[in-house]
Chain A
Amino acid sequence: MNNINGSISSNLRRRHRIGKIFLALIIFSTMVGLLMLTILLIDIAVEGAEWVRPELFLNYHSRKPEKAGMKSAIVGSIIVMALTGFFSFPIGVGAAIYIEEYAEKSFLTRLINININNLAGVPSIVYGMLGLVVFGRMFGVFSPDSWLVNTFNLPVGQGALGGMEFNLLGIKWLLIKLPFGRSILAGALTMTLLILPVVIISSREAIRAVPNSIRLAAYALGATKWQTISKQVLPVSMPGILTGIILALSRAIGETAPLIIMGAFTYVPFLPESVWDQFTVMPIQIYNWITLPQAEYRNHLAAAGIIILLAVLLSFNAVAVFLRKKLEIKW
């Protein structure tokens, strides 16, 4: 009897010991990610902190590392992000309103839902190729030998790419260039397509969080559907919508591949004057420095650039968290 008890309790002790080892293992695996995050941040700070200096903001890339900066990349990133937000806000929120408030249960609605989820999983580099063909080249319809040019006798440029330039409605500053080529506009539109699925998904959640009683109350007072949405639903869901867009933009600001494919440049020694100008963005400049052979670029300037990039990212996220915490209405 004693013997059996002993073997049970020793067996139980063994089983508990296995449990403890297991707990140690999963705590370890939780810590690995956090440890790596810490090492990454320390590594970058150690390599780059001393190189974060005025020249980084005031100068263009230079062949002398001590003079090199990323002025055009910082400005480029800001403009591209501003335009991307400007384009993706109306379309993304519009789509979210349609799906949440207007769409009926139909095959089309199901298709839209499945499609948005699938788009969110498409690799970003594919969006770069989409942007290159649709915005950058416009399927080549403005090249000298395309069917469009030949049918309508369009006055296109003589080079292999062709292309048109004209002032919309004859207004001087409304210059239009077709195709968009490797311009800021093409880059921002590419980024818009990239973040649109995320913007739609987060806006939908914000709109869905508004309780139905609000809508019913508005209807009861005689408001039309659009009045209900624009005056009641949208204002209260706006903090959630904005949070989603800011988080999507903070993703986009670190995206490199789509813009490289689309045709952003690595060396831009001037600031853009219009949306038709060439551009570069921070992550491309950082990538460019990483690939240079000298240690000053490869290790230090790249790390300094990363510090700026992460600082921007962090402030975007801080704004988003602030919006969510302070302005969001709890029902």
Chain B
Amino acid sequence: MINKLKINKLKEKLISRILFFCGVFSILITIGIIISLFSEAISFFLRPEVSIIKFFTGTNWRPLSSKVSSDNFGVLPLILGTMLIGIISAIISVPLGLGSAIFLSEYASEKTRDIIKPLIEILAGIPSVVYGYFALSFINPIIQTVFEDWFGLDVNFFNALSASMVLAIMIIPTVTSISEDAIRAVPGSLREGALSLGATKFEVITKVVLPAALSGIIAAFILAISRAVGETMAVTIAAGATPRMTFNPLNSVQTMTSFIVQVSFGDAPTGSVNGQSIFAVGATLFMITLLMNIASDFILNRYREEYE
């Protein structure tokens, strides 16, 4: 009897140890990400043909050129291409997502909401390679007709705009759900107060609800950009592979993620300049998205209007 109790106790202890290991495993993943990205990135920067200052300030990204020189390793064109796509897709998706959040939380009946919300969520579940296909087969011809045939502008076959548009569709559910949470957090008494003063529903929403939910909406905007920045396949397929300093969304650009994919397909040998350059770019990408996620979290928690 006593023996059995002892064994039981030992078993309990052992199990709690195993579970503890599972719990801290996620911290090991983060450490693993940091070590693997930064160790390779550091050995990239320690190469004589690369300079860390020129990497972050240089405006030429030609890693595949035969002349390996620090002038060819300026990451700014990739960052600019990435941000161009990220910001355009956020500009498109935030009004749409916010609009549907307002509709779902302020106007739609419970029944309508239960039908429409899951349908919108589907947009986030569709694989990004499918969005890439959609950009080329449907969005691109429209962009070409509108901007080339109607306005006579030069449109590259692969362009930042088509990638931004499919990313925008992809991000809508994220924006909707964060904005909806923010709007629902605004207490009903505020709405009723404004209504009783004679405001119309539109005025209640724009003058009372949205200002009160502003932190959530800004957080959604930042998170939308962060999602778009980290997206890979849709931009690789639709935006092209031309690293350049441009603000013109009709041009072909290259993002950080699509550069990483391009090199990975090219089978760059381990330890070569190119093989290591993807880690420098990857570490930059990781830091940018991490900062954005932290900023969005911070705004969401710190600037939330507390009413209760």
A contacts, CB < 8 Å to B:
15-16, 18-19, 22-23, 25-30, 32-34, 36-37, 39-40, 43-44, 47, 90-95, 97-99, 102-103, 108, 111-112, 115-119, 121-130, 132-134, 137, 139-140, 160-161, 193, 196-197, 200, 224-226, 250-251, 253-257, 260-261, 263, 266, 283, 286-287, 290-291, 298-299, 302-303, 306, 309-310, 313, 317
Contacts and interface: CB of A to CB of B under 8 A. Distances in A.
A96 to B, nearest CB: 8
Interface secondary structure of A, over-half rule: helix
A132 B260 CA distance: 12
Nearest to B286: A126
Contacts of A108: 24
B99 A30 contact: yes
B29 A30 contact: no
B195 interface: no
Interface of B: 8, 11-12, 15-16, 18-27, 29-30, 32-33, 36-37, 39-40, 95-100, 102-104, 107, 116, 119-120, 122-123, 125-130, 132-134, 136-138, 169, 172-173, 200-203, 205-206, 223, 226, 229-233, 236-237, 257, 260-261, 264-265, 269-270, 278-279, 282, 285-286, 289-290, 293-294, 297
Instruction: Tell me whether chain B's interface is mostly helix, strand or loop, or mixed.
Output: helix
27 contacts: A18-B202, A22-B202, A27-B107, A29-B95, A36-B123, A37-B119, A95-B25, A102-B19, A102-B23, A111-B27, A115-B26, A115-B27, A116-B26, A118-B293, A123-B257, A129-B37, A129-B279, A133-B39, A196-B26, A196-B29, A225-B12, A226-B16, A254-B129, A255-B127, A257-B257, A261-B278, A303-B137
A128 B282 CA distance: 10
B133 A119 contact: no
A121 B289 contact: yes
A308 to B, nearest CB: 12
A300 to B, nearest CB: 10
Contact of A254 (B20, B119, B128): B128
A98 B230 contact: no
B25 A287 contact: no
